[in-house]
Structure 1
Amino acid sequence: MTEEVKLFGTWLSVFNRRIEVALKLKGVQFEYIEENLSNKSPALLKYNPVHKKIPVLVHNGKPVAESLVILEYIDETWKHNPILPTDPYEKAMARFWAKYIDDKLWPALTKVWVSKGEEQKGVIDEIQKQLKTLESELKEKKFFGGESLGFVDIAANVIVWLVVAQEALGMEILTEEKFPVLHGWHQRLVDDAVFKECMPPRDRQLSFVKVRFGSSTPSK
């Protein structure tokens, strides 16, 4: 039976990138459908009527929404090259840290670019506190998942977006001096062949951030 796999997403979305990376790690062939979120397609609204958001994975006509849920679905459907640990405790911890990234780090990242002055400094302090927590979890490991990309590494690709955004806006949040462990992890992630294949052109990302958030006041 021929499998039909479709992914609805947008080029800039870090959540969409999670799914692309996972599918490519698994060697799963898929059709990518670029969405215009200001004019959502009838197909997207059909497949994700609850949240009406991307990403949405459609496997043999059945839709799955929410990026962390989709990642687990991919891992359970295509068993080879697992991205989640098999040990129940380690699997629970991977889920914990991925949720930490989505619940704590990502909201602060989306807020820092549109805040100013003292409020922005407070948000930066909060982000750096969260980055220190993640750095403590990473310790001396090559990746959060060990020797190769895993569930938490894929979820943590939001940090790649942070590095691009801070460069575009002249800010210093995650630097090698302050976060040597995370900085090394970030470099290994962006150098990974599969991850690199899924990344949009850097100049396009930089240009987008400058246009969208360029009025923010740089803070150090």
Structure 2
Amino acid sequence: MAASSVQEHLPPSLDATSHPPPLFDGTTRLYISYSCPFAQRTWITRNYKGLQEKIKLVPINLQNRPAWYKEKVYPENKVPSLEHNGKVIGESLDLIKYIDSNFEGPSLAPNDPAKKEFGQELIAYTDTFNKTVFTSFKGDPVKEAGPAFDHLEKALHKFDDGPFFLGQFSGVDIAYIPFVERFQVFLSDAWKYDITAGRPKLAKWIEEVNKIDAYKPTKTDPKELVEFYKARFSGQQ
């Protein structure tokens, strides 16, 4: 299992009044927001590989972000981004791969060619999955988001050597869990829709991911999630 049961003191988020860290001083920094699902992907990756000492977390307040972040760190002005070896790279799916390939720790990529290929297909589907479910919040999620969750249920039947998408835990699980976590909470609260009903593999997958130490500290408070999505999608039900 991963070297990830390190109890970590989480730093406070930096906002417009905060000074920048000593940028490009050789420290590897992962810029995240505690509430952002894209950033959560990279945070889980770092934890799973046991890199809490090697990659410093720098949380940014996205509602009141510091000007220096855009000017000096990442012109895209979004999270996540990784400051490593004098350069900054972004995009969460790229960063899962980058952290996995460039740092020590348990691998998140399978060696088996069939798993590799299926993993790529599932990664390619993440944007469609997220878009389908988010769009359904404006209509009828049970009807419109159902097929997207069915797609995951079907995918979880492909390999039977473990409860995860590629059997064993991988970058594919990391790509999906931040979004599934949010969708499950919000759909249950706002629509009384249980995404695991009639989807035993999905239910088991969520249960097993929840046991992973690397994931636990990255989870968002469900109440906060519901409030955030209600504010964002209010009047659209």
TM-score of Structure 1 vs Structure 2, range by shorter chain: 0.7 to 0.9
Q: Match of 2:215, SS?
A: helix
CA shift, 1:198, in A, is 1.4
**Structure 1 unmatched ranges of 5 or more:** none
Runs of 4+ residues over 4 Å off in structure 1: none
Residues 1:100 and 2:125 aligned together: yes
CA shift, 1:132, in A, is 1.3
Q: Which residue of 1 aligns with 2:232?
A: 212
Matching of residues 112-123 of structure 1 within 5 Å: 112-113=136-137, 115=138, 120-121=139-140
Instruction: Tell me the alpha carbon deviations over residues 104-139 of structure 1, each in whole angstroms, 9 at most, x when there is no partner.
Output: 1111222222x1xxxx12x64342112212211111
Equivalent-residue separation in structure 2 for 1:61 and 1:124 (angstroms): 47
CA shift, 1:173, in A, is 5.4
**Structure 2 unmatched ranges of 5 or more:** 1-24
2:212 maps to amino acid: D
Q: CA RMSD, aligned part only? A: 2.3
CA shift, 1:35, in A, is 2.2
Q: Which residue of 2 aligns with 1:145?
A: 166
Residues 175, 5 of structure 1: alpha-carbon distance in 2 compared, 3 angstrom cutoff:
same
Instruction: Tell me the alpha carbon deviations over residues 163-210 of structure 1, each in whole angstroms, 9 at most, x when there is no partner.
Output: 11113313415132x212111211221232221121122333233334
- Count of aligned pairs between the two proteins: 206
Residues 1:23 and 2:46 aligned together: yes
Equivalent-residue separation in structure 1 for 2:130 and 2:203 (angstroms): 18
Equivalent-residue separation in structure 1 for 2:90 and 2:216 (angstroms): 24
Q: Which residue of 2 aligns with 1:48?
A: 74
- Percentage of matched positions with identical amino acids: 25
TM-score (norm 2): 0.77
Residues 78, 204 of structure 1: alpha-carbon distance in 2 compared, 3 angstrom cutoff:
same
2:200 maps to amino acid: P
Equivalent-residue separation in structure 2 for 1:168 and 1:6 (angstroms): 35
Matching of residues 1-220 of structure 1 within 5 Å: 4-29=27-52, 30-45=55-70, 46-49=72-75, 51-102=76-127, 104-113=128-137, 115=138, 120-121=139-140, 124-139=142-157, 140=160, 141-147=162-168, 149-157=169-177, 158-172=179-193, 174-176=195-197, 178-217=198-237
CA shift, 1:97, in A, is 0.4
Q: Match of 2:30, SS?
A: strand
Equivalent-residue separation in structure 2 for 1:168 and 1:59 (angstroms): 40
Instruction: Tell me the alpha carbon deviations over residues 2-36 of structure 1, each in whole angstroms, 9 at most, x when there is no partner.
Output: 96221222222111111111000111123222223
Q: Match of 1:156, SS?
A: helix
